[in-house]
Amino acid sequence: MTWSSIIIAGIITYFTRMTMVALVDRDLLGERIKAVLAYVPSAVFPAIIFPGIFINDYGTFIEMNDPKIFGAIVAILVGYFSRNVIATILSGLFSYWIIIFLL
Amino acid sequence: MLTKKQLLTKGLLSVAPHMFSVIPFGIVCGAIGIELGFSPILVYAMSIIIFGGASQIVFLQLLSGGASTLIAVTSVGVINSRHLLYGAVLSEYLEKLSFVKKLLISYLVVDQGFAESNKFFQKNKNEPYLHYHLLGSGGTLWIFWQLSTLSGIILGSFVPEEIGLKFAVPLTFIAIVVQDLKKLDHVIVMITCGLSSLLFFDAPFKSYIIISPIIALFVAALVLRLKK
């Protein structure tokens, strides 16, 4: 039972990856849709970022003085100016750790 | 012109920083599966068959919490439906591949690989072997996902919860979109998506993960119209 549901879930997931790449002819998409698709990263990733910062493990909102907010602000500033992915991630993690372990 | 090998290496290196979130997340994913009482083979098989971190964890949590398999499978489908958007974006660059190659490379389309390869594609539209970049980024993520879920299954969660490495996940995605904060239209789209995700966080089947991008893309369409 669990096995068959994993396999079905796997097939569905594969179809979400494959359909637009292999089955849908790109020419079917109009110019306007193509222009909107340029926003896909900006339209998708905040749905991972915001809950990852503002909602805790128990599904409730964090306090406004939560160290994750500070870490995220540091990461955004460092990322914005350094243009460096590693620096962005590490500055966020370290500033978060400094608050939870040292303060 | 870059060789296939150079593109593969560039793809690999582009996702290397994201291992800060992929590896701990994979370990947690493997360890949670065992903690919830599933067999090690089953938990590991998911990393090959589904290959999608958040959806794997949700799937196991739902099943162990007594949800029906229909609900668990539906949730996986909803969470992973965002790949449809990635595919639509990537199709432009993968157009020339044979059908079989398209079928094979699709398996490797995941969040961070899509994000980094898409950035590279935008700047290097005319390279003939572009797909090797995606092969490098997606392949690297695949290998490290397999290794990290496996170690989580075998060793349990050896990364202590207190150090809060889960926070690396939003940081990774901040690193991906942060340069787009320079463009007002992108900022509007990002804020729309982020606020929607908090608003719809409790919607069934974790559907906030696809509802908020759809809302944000509608706003993007509006912004485009206003720009003209």
What pLDDT was estimated at residue B161?
77
Tokens of B44: 């590991």
The residue with tokens 């910062």 is: A53
The residue with tokens 């406004």 is: A64
pLDDT band at B210 (very low <50, low <70, confident <90, very high): very high
Within this chain, do residues B146 and B202 fall inside the same structural domain, yes or no? no
Within this chain, do residues B29 and B112 fall inside the same structural domain, yes or no? yes
Interatomic CA distance for residues A40 and A44, integer angstroms: 6
Asked if A42's CB is within 8 angstroms of B189's CB, the reply is: yes
Question: Which residues make Cβ contacts (< 8 Å) with residue B218, sequence separation at least 6?
Answer: none
Mean pLDDT score across all residues of chain B? 95
- For the stretch B136-148, pLDDT in tens is 999 999 999 999 9
Q: Which residues of B touch A37 (CB under 8 A)?
A: 85, 88-89
CA distances from B115 to B105, B120, B134, B156, B174 (A): 15, 9, 10, 30, 11
Q: Which residues of B touch A29 (CB under 8 A)?
A: 88
Q: Which residues of B touch A9 (CB under 8 A)?
A: 49-50, 55, 59, 72-73, 76-77
pLDDT at B220 over 90: yes
Domain contains B178: no
Q: Which residues of B touch A54 (CB under 8 A)?
A: 198
Residue of A nearest to B91 (CA): A21
**Number of folded domains in chain B?**
2
- For the stretch A1-55, pLDDT in tens is 789 999 999 999 999 999 999 998 877 788 899 999 999 999 999 999 999 999 9
Q: Which of B163, B195, B218 is the last residue of a domain?
A: B163
| Residues 54 through 83 of chain A touching chain B, CB cutoff 8 Å | 54-55, 59, 61, 68, 71-72, 75-76, 79-80, 83
SS (H, E, C) B181-223: HHCHHHHHHHHHHHHHHHHCCCCHHHCHHHHHHHHHHHHHHHH
Chains A–B, number of C-beta pairs less than 8 Å apart: 259
- Chain A: give the shortest CA distance to residue B175, in Å: 5
Within this chain, do residues B54 and B93 fall inside the same structural domain, yes or no? yes
Interatomic CA distance for residues B31 and B15, integer angstroms: 24
Q: Identify the burial level of B110 via C-beta atoms within 10 angstroms of its C-beta, where 0-12 means exposed, 13-18 middle and 19 or more buried.
A: buried
Domain of B209 in residue numbering reads as 183-228
Q: E-assigned strands of B60-135?
A: none
Within this chain, do residues B28 and B123 fall inside the same structural domain, yes or no? yes
Asked if A86's CB is within 8 angstroms of B87's CB, the reply is: no
Residue ranges of domains in chain A: 1-38, 39-103
Domain contains B168: no
Residue of B nearest to A27 (CA): B92
